[in-house]
Amino acid sequence: MVLLEADKITKRFGGLVANDSISFEVKNGELLGLIGPNGAGKTTLFNCISGAHQIDSGRILFDGKDITKLNSYEVARLGLARTFQIYVASGDLNVLENIMVGCFMRTSSTAKAKSMAEAVLKELELTDIAKSMMNELPVAVQKRVTMATALGTSPKLLLLDEVAAGLNPSEIENIMTVIRYIHEKMGITVVLIEHVMEMVMKLSQRVIVLDYGKKIAEGDPSSVVRHPDVIRAYLGERYAREYAATRPDSGA
Ligand SMILES: Nc1ncnc2c1ncn2[C@@H]1O[C@H](COP(=O)(O)OP(=O)(O)OP(=O)(O)O)[C@@H](O)[C@H]1O
Ligand SMILES: [Mg+2]
């Protein structure tokens, strides 16, 4: 079953076409990677899908409904959540309360929102820092909290925008475990924007590549990194060989 369908999404900023007639589908239960050089239009695509931007043309269907004209709150209520590349936590709220904000989308009861938020903290092994303020926490933990905040809204589809940026290799391993858990154990469909290619290669079932606002490639991870346009626009020859070798199905 198709959960998200983007049909020729176009978004312009003045003369710049940040998303140029991009079409793709996300199947229910899938983990899709979205890659491309800086400025390719990845975050813009998340903004369009999640209702933060109104698109100039095209159509977006989510879970069988036309969400093209909906705002971010309406889209989130339907079960589409995202993290932000630059996350600004609500300054006066602790971790638990930040997550409760999302839970209030599903309930008007404070007690129910609290127990929902506590359940999310437990799933992501964050119970110990429930009372901490965001700016007191190490970056790696903050990243996990941003995912917890999105999960508080009980999404069907989670859009992750560079949750591994700025992390060291062991923190990246850790965040991959969290993403696998969200995808496999919690059963949530995931689209992942990421520059850490090792992560994209290990986690994604399928990858889409953007360059200058256009979709230039789509397919399984090992064939996408061998695609001449992807090598030219993003990876370079040497890296393409290395990344292909990290795939279990690469035969390397
Ligand atoms: N609100 C905006 N107003 C004007 N231009 C914008 C806006 N948001 C993005 N852009 C431009 O659109 C293009 C795509 O930006 P976007 O942030 O989507 O790229 P990205 O693929 O997420 O890049 P990165 O990997 O660096 O995060 C860039 O040229 C950017 O400067
Ligand atoms: Mg971005």
Domain ranges of the chain: 2-85+155-245
- Nearest atom, ligand 1, residue 53 CA: 1
Short-list 197, 194, 199, CA closest to 231: 197
Ligand 1 pocket check for 36: Cβ under 6 Å = yes
- Nearest atom, ligand 1, residue 85 CA: 27
Closest residue by CA, ligand 1 atom 3: 13
Within 8 A by CB and 6+ apart from 159, the residues are: 46, 49, 50, 80, 81, 82, 83, 190, 191, 193
CATH architecture of 2-85+155-245: 3-Layer(aba) Sandwich (3.40)
Q: What gap in Å lies between CA 53 and CA 47, rounded to an integer?
A: 5
Tell me if 83 sits within 8 A of 150, measured CB to CB.
yes
Q: What gap in Å lies between CA 188 and CA 198, rounded to an integer?
A: 21
Closest residue by CA, ligand 1 atom 6: 13
Q: What pLDDT, on a 0 to 100 scale, did the predictor assign at position 240?
A: 64
> CA 14, 19, 20, 21 torsion: positive or negative?
negative
Q: What pLDDT, on a 0 to 100 scale, did the predictor assign at position 252?
A: 47
- Joined tokens for residue 102: 């999302």
Q: Tell me, in angstroms, the distance from the centre of ligand 1 to residue 7's CA.
A: 20
Ligand 1 pocket check for 41: Cβ under 6 Å = yes
Short-list 186, 165, 239, 217, CA closest to 33: 217
- Residue 131: which H helix or E strand, with range? none
Closest residue by CA, ligand 1 atom 8: 44
Q: Note the pTM of the prediction, 2 decimals.
A: 0.92
Closest residue by CA, ligand 1 atom 2: 13
Tell me if 225 sits within 8 A of 238, measured CB to CB.
no
Q: Residue ranges of the chain with pLDDT lower than 50?
A: 252
Q: How many helices (H) and strands (E) does the chain have?
A: 10, 10
Mutation choice for ligand 1 from 9, 11, 17, 43, CB with most ligand atoms inside 8 A: 43
Q: What pLDDT, on a 0 to 100 scale, did the predictor assign at position 248?
A: 65
Q: What gap in Å lies between CA 87 and CA 46, rounded to an integer?
A: 14
Tell me if 59 sits within 8 A of 36, measured CB to CB.
no
Within 8 A by CB and 6+ apart from 79, the residues are: 62, 63, 153, 154, 155, 156, 157
